């Protein structure tokens, strides 16, 4: 495939077949408005970037509606992966927790502190309802944002319901990525349990 004559920036992705998306991957519901801009000059690349509270996706004008939907999903996932590499500070975690509480718990969960800790190697997060404190394991750093959001929301829900009964899980039903995040974390745990293969011998 010939190269696109227009320069390709760091946020641009060359067009590939639909089969290049990993099997089983599901579209990511956008957390902010998405604006799609078509360009007749753009032929073989798609790019995306954040602009204020919205995401801008630039695509070739010739794309079909089905291709547009597919590539918007691909670029949203790519942006999310790039952004998740930046480690959030404790202040940003607290702001994120406040936003999640407002969006999914009607603002009822109000933690006093939210912070990273390095002494939690057997759990992803914990909370102390009496103190209103939430702690997230440093092992979450670098994971996709939707996974961190799920763990935060999980601990926020514990400020309202201490156990894991039906009432607790009803609080998490409104978060659209609960099952996906739980699957991701289960995969990480399973991978950690795999036996380490011996290093290949040099000939």
What is the tens place of the pLDDT at every residue in 159-185?
A: 999 889 999 999 998 899 899 899 989
Give pLDDT, residue 83: 67
Give pLDDT, residue 160: 95
pLDDT at 13 over 50: no
- Across the range 15-33, mean pLDDT stands at 46
- What is the reported pTM? 0.57
pLDDT at 156 over 60: yes
* Residues 124 and 181 sit within 8 Å (Cβ to Cβ): no
> What is the Cα–Cα distance from 94 to 77, expressed in whole angstroms?
24
pLDDT at 28 over 90: no
pLDDT at 188 over 80: yes
pLDDT at 26 over 80: no
Main-chain phi, psi angles of 51, to 5 degrees: -135, 95
What is the tens place of the pLDDT at every residue in 86-124?
A: 677 888 899 999 999 999 999 999 999 999 999 988 899
Main-chain phi, psi angles of 177, to 5 degrees: -110, 20
pLDDT at 201 over 80: no
Give pLDDT, residue 198: 47
Q: Enter the DSSP assignment of 21.
A: S
């Amino acid at each position: 495939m010939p190269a696109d004559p227009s320069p390709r920036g760091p946020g641009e992705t060359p067009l590939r077949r639909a089969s290049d998306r990993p099997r089983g991957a599901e579209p990511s519901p956008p957390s902010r408005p998405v604006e799609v801009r078509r360009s007749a000059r753009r032929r073989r690349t798609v790019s995306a970037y954040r602009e204020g509270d919205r995401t801008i996706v630039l695509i070739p004008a010739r794309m079909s509606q089905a291709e547009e939907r597919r590539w918007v999903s691909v670029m949203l996932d790519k942006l999310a992966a790039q952004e998740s590499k930046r480690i959030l500070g404790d202040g940003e975690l607290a702001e994120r927790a406040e936003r999640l509480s407002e969006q999914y718990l009607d603002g009822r969960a109000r933690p006093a502190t939210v912070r990273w800790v390095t002494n939690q190697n057997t759990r992803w997060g914990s909370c102390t309802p009496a103190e209103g404190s939430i702690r997230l394991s440093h092992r979450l750093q670098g994971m996709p944002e939707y996974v961190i959001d799920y763990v935060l929301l999980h601990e926020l829900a514990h400020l309202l319901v201490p156990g894991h009964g039906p009432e607790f899980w009803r609080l998490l039903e409104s978060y659209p990525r609960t099952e996906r995040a739980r699957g991701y974390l289960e995969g990480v745990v399973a991978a950690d349990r795999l036996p380490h293969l011996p290093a290949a011998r040099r000939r």
